[in-house]
Structure formats: structure tokens, C-alpha cells
Amino acid sequence: MSHLEIKNLHVNIEGKEILKGLSLTINKGEVHAIMGPNGTGKSTLAYTLMGHPNYTVTEGEVIFKGQNILELEPDERSRTGIFLAFQYPVAIPGVTVANFLRSAINARSRAENPEDKGMPIPEFRKFLKEHMDMLKMDHAFAGRYLNDGFSGGEKKRAEILQMAALRPEIAILDETDSGLDIDALRIVSEGVNALSGPDLGVLVITHYQRLLNYIKPQFVHVMMGGRIVESGGPDLALHLEEHGYDWIREKVEA
């Protein structure tokens, strides 16, 4: 079974240590949620896993498919089957959603088979329409420039559309619920759930229980001080919603 194994990960940004020995294993078919106070390193973890250049790994390794992905460039990590849905997706004026997705799909296919000619345009159009329907997106959306002038909900739907196109084996969702109203949250979550299954491991990073009402994790972890300090099942998220983090701080300090 393919899995992502994070071992004793230490990460600095601008000389300040943010992650301080974080370890976690995510198997395909599992949904993990990471919660925790602001500034504890949740987004740092997501960006480090995908190779953001501002984050310096000083110790530890991240093993996926038998190799340490920390040695790979971001595009190489993506081609191994890892995907990150950003909290704040970047606009790319001049590049349509459709062109971006077809280029991404073809790049992934060529990484697996250099002789691959890419997805034929009629097949891609059918694929795109089916997945846009799943996310309740107007088909005209495909002709718009990626994230340029998009609402918060449109940006997040575009992220999940990319996830559907790339068919990752490990998906990291960095505060996907940020900026979403209830309807958009439900639609985006339904899209994630439709893609979930035995071939996909998911790491959900969130502050709030409300997202976990839709995307239901088997495992919930609490980050504090750059490490995972508490783990449990779905009931842990409900307990945090009711009682906050003070009880965990007291355990850690003790």
C-alpha cells in the first residue's frame, strides 16, 4: 500500500524553527485531519511537503513510494502523485482553466510514459464537463483565466477540479474551508468526497469542525508548538469544538 511517511520533520523559515520534530503516516484510503491554534505550523507542513522554497528542512525526511521527496523539485513531487489545494490560490491571468488543466494532465501522463501523446481534445472536453457538473460549475468557467477575478468559492472549486484532473494518491487540503459560505463549503466537500476512496489518502488542515461535518476523517491530530501533540478519532474534533485547546496546552506543559 502506498503511503506518505513524515519522519521527525524540522523546518525553519527565515531562521525561525516552525516544525520541531513532526511525524505522521498517511496511507491511501485514509482521511486525516490536522487542527491546532494559529501559528503552530499547519500551513508550514503543507508548503514543506510540496517544496515551497522559503521553507528550509533542517532534519527529518518524507518518504513516498520508497524515496525521500524532500530531494525532489515541486513539479517532481506532483508527478509522484502528491497534490496540494492552497488556502489562497494564485491567479494566473492569460491562462484559461481548460488549458491549465489539460497541460497538467498531459504533463502527468508524460511523466509516467514519455511516449504518451496526451489526452485527445474531445476526450478532455467530456472529462472536464463531467467533473464541472460534479462541482456544480458553469461550463463557461473553463474559458476563464485561472483564479483571475474568482470569488473564494470559485477558487476552491477550481482547486478541487485540479485535484480531479490530476488523480493524486495523496491530497493535502490547506484550510479549504477558508472564505467559503455554507453552500460553497458543502459543494466543495461533496467534490472531495466523490474523489475519495481506496486509491487516495487525504490530509485536511482546518481550524473548524464544520468542514469535518462534510469531509469525515478517520484520524484527527492536534498540532501545537510545531509537533503533533494529540491524536484520536473524529470525537477529538468535536471535543476541541466544545472545549478549545487549553486542556491540551495543560497536558503539553505538564
Q: What is the pLDDT of residue 254?
A: 74
pLDDT at 179 over 80: no
The answer to whether residues 164 and 192 touch, using CB atoms and an 8 Å cutoff, is: no
Burial level of 120, CB count in 10 A (0-12/13-18/19+)? exposed
Q: What CATH code is carried by the domain that includes residue 226? A: 3.40.50.300
The answer to whether residues 193 and 215 touch, using CB atoms and an 8 Å cutoff, is: yes
pLDDT at 202 over 90: yes
Which residues are bridge partners to 94 per DSSP? none
The answer to whether residues 229 and 222 touch, using CB atoms and an 8 Å cutoff, is: yes
Q: Which residue has the cell 453552500?
A: 183
**Residue 94: strand, helix, or coil:** strand
Kindly state the percentage of the chain with pLDDT values over 90. Answer: 62
Average pLDDT over residues 15-33: 95
d(C-alpha 250, C-alpha 254), whole Å: 6
* Residue type, position 156, single letter: K
Secondary structure element (H or E) that encloses residue 99, with its range: helix 97-112
pLDDT at 124 over 80: yes
Q: What is the pLDDT of residue 2?
A: 61
Q: Of the candidates 92, 89, 81, 104, which has an alpha carbon nearest to the alpha carbon of residue 162?
A: 104
Query: pLDDT averaged over the chain?
Result: 91
The answer to whether residues 89 and 158 touch, using CB atoms and an 8 Å cutoff, is: yes
What is the tens place of the pLDDT at every residue in 48-94? 999 999 999 999 999 999 999 999 999 999 989 999 998 888 999 99
Q: Which domain holds residue 126?
A: 3-253
Q: Which stretch of 11-15, 185-189, 235-239, 245-249 has the lowest confidence by average pLDDT? A: 185-189
Average pLDDT over residues 195-204: 91
pLDDT at 45 over 90: yes
Into how many domains does the chain fold? 1
Average pLDDT over residues 96-125: 90
Under the banding of pLDDT at 50, 70 and 90, the label for residue 32 is very high
Q: What is the pLDDT of residue 43?
A: 92
Q: What is the pLDDT of residue 103?
A: 92
What does DSSP say about strands 201-205 and 92-96: parallel, antiparallel, or unpaired?
unpaired
d(C-alpha 151, C-alpha 73), whole Å: 30
Kindly state the percentage of the chain with pLDDT values over 70. Answer: 99
Please name the residues in contact with 7: beta carbons below 8 A apart, sequence gap of 6 or more. Answer: 23, 60, 61, 62, 63
Q: Of the candidates 174, 179, 182, 248, which has an alpha carbon nearest to the alpha carbon of residue 210?
A: 182
